[in-house]
Amino acid sequence: MKKALAFLSALVMLSASSAAAVPASAADSYDMNITVDLSAAGKAISPYIYGINEYGHQDDLKKVTATAYRQGGNRMTAYNWETNASNAGSDWKYSSDNNLSNSDAPADCVQQLSRDAAKYNVGYKLTTLQLAGYAAADKNGTVTEAEAAPSDRWNEVVLTKGSAFAETPDLTDGTVYMDEYVNYIITKLGDSQSATGIQGYSLDNEPALWHNTHSRIHPNPVGMKELSDKSAEMAEAVKKLDPKAEIFGPALYGYTAYDHLADTDSDTEWETLKEAGGYHWYIDYYLDTMKQASDKAGTRLLDVLDIHYYSESCRNGTADRLQSVRTLYEKGFVENSWIGQWCQTNIPILPTVQASIDKYYPGTKLGITEYNFGGDDEVSGAIAQIEALGCYADAGVYFASIWGGSGYILSGLNLYTNYDGKGGSFGETLMPTETGDVSKSSAYAAKNADASTVTLALTNKELSAAEHAVITLSDAEKVYKKAAVYLIDSSTTDIRYLDVYDVADGRLDLTLPAYSAAMVVISDDDNAFDGAKPEEKTQKSTVYEDPMSLVNENGFVEIPITDAAHLKQIIITGDVTSSAGSSWGNAGCAVCINAVTPDGTKFWTSKGYSLSLGSGSKAIVDFDGTLTVKDKETDTETEVPATVADGKIELQKWWDASEKQEAEIEDTIAVTYTKVEVVYEYTGAGERTPGDVNADGEVTLADLVALQKFLLAETRTLADWQAADLDGNDKLNAADLTVLKRKLLAKA
């Protein structure tokens, strides 16, 4: 018994989180009046603003309902389509390798993009064309500074071949032709109008940073005329091959690039061009030069002005993240960052960008092909994501694809595209919507084609106060009767069903919990939400407060998995340090798993995650009942139904990257795990037989032995966690053992 008590005193506490609707009260709520004007014509919403980037998201397509899919990022700048070699640049040791594809078959990456999009019904596919001048010639690892281009580590990139295209690329000529690449794509996949073809081509990625990120191939800052000339030549070549394909450019990395392209000490070229053309900022010049080139070519050479946006203020944490989107759309808003301090002339950003388009190249669409407001592991991430998508719809953004993101951020995207898990989505036409105070609550409403349904994306930014929302549907032609509410809050990263409410005389009253976001679905059908309530789900979690004490004989942190069949998520927190004192760094890690299929077949697999430099860095690794198995003969990966075997997983670090490593300085990025939370999810309630710990259908002494062994750490697993929680406190401890003993004695 002493042994049991000693263990139990150190037993990790288990907790369940299941939140119900928070009732309004004078003490902890406030009133928010929201008006949706249904008399107006509204604005058509582009279906392509609900996109994601391919890099880092390949496994997310099965859990995120996306409408657009972009193949881009730093890895694509030196991508060699002939062999699929690519170079990481300063992101990771200037390594040329097989990061993008294990295949040597030409254009495998873009063909995989097409296959994935088809599998998950993603309609718009955007890939990247290389403009920086060189592509990786091999997959042999780090390229040193002495091997910078031109050298045998690189193949020259030529935009237009000027002769007949080869059926298969010549791997011996030291040259990669970009128009030949486009022709190869069309031959393999069809043109932009085909279901499998590529709809859009991006003119490289973040050229203003080439001299930093890809200094081995473009050591000097890109010139403004250089970029416009290359953009026009590449675009014209694409249009000759696929006239209806859309051209995206120039993929500006952020505000500084909008203003003067490359962030350098000398902006002589810009000052000269700015004065000569009377331009406000660099975006004006790019649009103007592309318009002139288009007029000369006799065809539009820029369809979508492509910018990236990473909020500066959200770096400061929750409070600033909750307000960060306002910089994009609200005149007079001042965010807490250098942009708020020094750049108010161009705030709000999206209307300023649109004004440049209207002046210099009317008809050009707006794309935001990379953005992220942070907050994967907290509700503010969902709130910012939801407000951003509403803002994009209101600003007429044509295409948007989030870079990175997990947890709450992806749930924020799903709230628009699949709020009920059955394909329910935000309406097609945005309607004018007013809310009393956007610092407390943002609101965006839309209606579907026949106006039978109005959807309202609503956020409550107050951390501690519930929101009593009075929603008025003004001048509606329809009589709306019922409303269902789907919620994101602190109880889970998933969207959960809240309740159905009555709508009377065009008015709906409801209360949102503090720090939450919702999709309010309003219907003219009195029976629209019959049966909408999903089967109840309960989450329970095991928290390991001292993971470093769980280092095994292999030197890895080993985390017990007590109920593999119901494993939903592992939330990992750690402190990441740099031995060289880098200002930024990342540790590339993996959850390593011995897996087992339902038929008993075992295999090894992993799920990757990364932790960034600093204290309290977090990562979320999701499980959905499938794991990836690799065929060694064909080098292909397939997802199969499988769970964790052997009652454990290992946390391993596989690679690291940092600021100092860019200069080839030895720098060890170390991870100290400070907390690991293992989340289990159960569907339904009451079907478990209390005490049937081994799940054999009856409660016997064998169940008592099984529970005792688990509590004494003699075994790592339980067949039925819920059945073992006999006192109903969502924890497994000696009290449950006592209840089970009494149950067996009473039975005897």
Write out pLDDT tens, residues 491-504: 889 999 999 999 99
Section 279-287 average pLDDT: 97
pLDDT at 716 over 80: no
Is residue 698 predicted with pLDDT exceeding 50? yes
For 134-139, what is the mean pLDDT? Answer: 98
Contact 204, 129 (CB under 8 A): yes
Q: What is the mean pLDDT of residues 295-301?
A: 98
CB distance 217 to 132 below 8 Å = yes
Per-chain mean pLDDT for the chain: 90
pLDDT of 555 > 70? The answer is: yes
Which residue, among 375, 361, 181, has the nearest Cα to 289 in the 3D structure?
A: 361
Judge whether 677 and 583 are in contact, CB under 8 Å. Answer: no
Among 228, 277, 213, which Cα is nearest to 77's?
Answer: 213
User: pTM above the 0.85 mark?
Assistant: no
3-state secondary structure of 431: strand
Q: Which helix (H) or strand (E) holds 522?
A: strand 516-523
Q: d(Cα 509, Cα 470) in Å, to the nearest integer? A: 5
Q: Which helix (H) or strand (E) holds 251?
A: strand 246-252
Whose tokens are 């709020």? That residue is 419
pLDDT tens digits along 10-60: 322 222 333 333 333 435 788 999 999 999 899 999 999 999 999 877 778
Under DSSP, is residue 302 helix (H, G, I), strand (E, B) or coil? coil
* Cβ-Cβ contacts under 8 Å for 94 (sequence gap 6 or more): 87, 88, 142, 143, 144, 216
Rounded Cα distance between 601 and 595, Å, is 8
Between CA 595 and CA 406 the distance in angstroms is: 23
The residue assigned the tokens 């924890």 is: 731
User: Would you name the residues annotated as active-site residues?
Assistant: 206
Q: How many helices (H) and strands (E) does the chain have?
A: 17, 36
Name the percent of the chain lying above pLDDT 70.
93
Phi, psi of 98 (to 5 degrees): -100, 30
Amino acid sitting at position 65: T
Sequence-distant (6+) residues with CB within 8 A of 588 are 608, 610, 653, 654, 655, 656, 657
Residue 437 in contact with residue 48, Cβ under 8 Å?
no
- Angstrom distance (rounded) from CA 324 to CA 384: 7
- Token digits for 708? 């005792």
What's the per-residue H, E or C state across 577-610?
Answer: EECCCCCCEEEEEEEEEEEECCCCCEEEEEEEEE
Sketch out the chain's domains with CATH numbers. 29-38+440-534 (2.60.40.1180), 48-417 (3.20.20.80), 687-748 (1.10.1330.10)
Contact call for residues 197 and 185 (beta carbons, < 8 A): yes
User: Residue range 725-747: average pLDDT?
Assistant: 80
Q: How does DSSP assign 87-101, residue by residue?
A: E-GGGTTTEEESSS-
**Alpha-carbon distance 90 to 110, whole Å?**
24
Model confidence at 730, in pLDDT bands (50, 70, 90)?
low
**Cα 111 to chain centroid, rounded:** 22
> Contact, 658 vs 584, CB < 8 A?
yes
The residues, ordered by sequence, that sit 6+ positions from 733 with a Cβ below 8 Å of its Cβ are: 8, 11, 711
Residue 688: band (very low, low, confident or very high) from pLDDT cuts 50, 70, 90: low
- The Cα-based distances of 134 to 137, 231, 343 in angstroms read 9, 16, 35
- pLDDT the model gives residue 3: 32
Give the relative orientation of helices 282-297 and 268-277 as an angle to the nearest 10 degrees: 70
- Token pair of 556, please? 């890895």
The secondary structure element, H or E, covering residue 424 is none
- pLDDT computed for residue 474 by the predictor: 95
Residue 594 above 70 pLDDT?
yes
Mean pLDDT, rounded, for 173-184: 98
What is the phi/psi pair of residue 88, to 5°? Answer: -80, -15
What is the pLDDT at residue 263? 64
The residues pairing with 41 across neighbouring beta strands, listed in sequence order, are: none
The tens digit of pLDDT for each residue in 329-355 reads 999 999 999 999 999 999 999 999 999
Residues 6+ apart with CB under 8 A from 502: 481, 482, 483, 508
Tokens of 614: 């600093």
Q: What is the pLDDT of residues 494-538, one digit of tens each?
A: 999 999 999 999 999 999 999 999 999 999 999 999 988 887 778
Task: Please name the residues in contact with 50: beta carbons below 8 A apart, sequence gap of 6 or more.
Answer: 65, 66, 67, 68, 389, 400, 413, 416, 417
Helix (H) or strand (E) holding 650: strand 643-658
Task: Compute how many other C-beta atoms are within 10 angstroms of the C-beta atom of residue 631.
Answer: 9
| β 14-16/43-44 pair status | unpaired
8 Å CB contact between 511 and 467: yes
